[in-house]
Amino acid sequence: MNKAQDYLKGRLIELVEKFKDIRLEYSFEEEYNDHIVEVTPSVMFEDNEFNDHEMEIIKDFYDKFPDHTAMFTYSGLLKDMEGIDIIVIRGILYK
C-alpha cells in the first residue's frame, strides 16, 4: 500500500467510526492513481453531515496527493470493475 492509500484508508476508518451504520468499499486503480469509495447505504449522500465529511476528506486528500484522484460513489460501481482489490470497512452498526 502506498502513502496515499494508507492516508485515505485511515480517513475512511474515521468516517465509519463517526457514521456507524455505513459500509465502505475502497479500491485503488494503480495505472491512473484513482481511488474509489463506494458508500452503502446510498441514502448517506442525502445526509448533510456525511457530505461535509466526504468533502473534507476529498479536499484534504487532494491537498496532500495532487497527482491522485478520489471519489465517493453509490454502491454497485466496483462490482463491474475487473482486476482490482477491494477493502471493505464497516461501521459497527452496519447490517
Give the model confidence (pLDDT) of 17-76 as tens digits.
999 999 999 999 888 999 999 999 999 999 999 999 999 999 999 999 999 999 999 877
> How many domains is the chain built from?
1
Question: Does any domain span residue 95?
Answer: no
Mean pLDDT calculated for residue range 69-89:
79
* CATH number for 25: 3.30.70
Determine, yes or no, domain membership for 70: yes
Is residue 37 assigned to a domain? yes
pLDDT at 78 over 80: no
Intra-chain end-to-end CA distance of the chain, in Å: 28
State the alpha helices, DSSP H only, in the chain. Answer: 3-18, 48-64
pLDDT of residue 95: 77
| pLDDT computed for residue 80 by the predictor | 63
Q: What is the largest CA-CA distance in the chain?
A: 36
Rounded CA-CA distance 34/36 in Å is: 6
- What is the residue range of 72's domain? 3-90
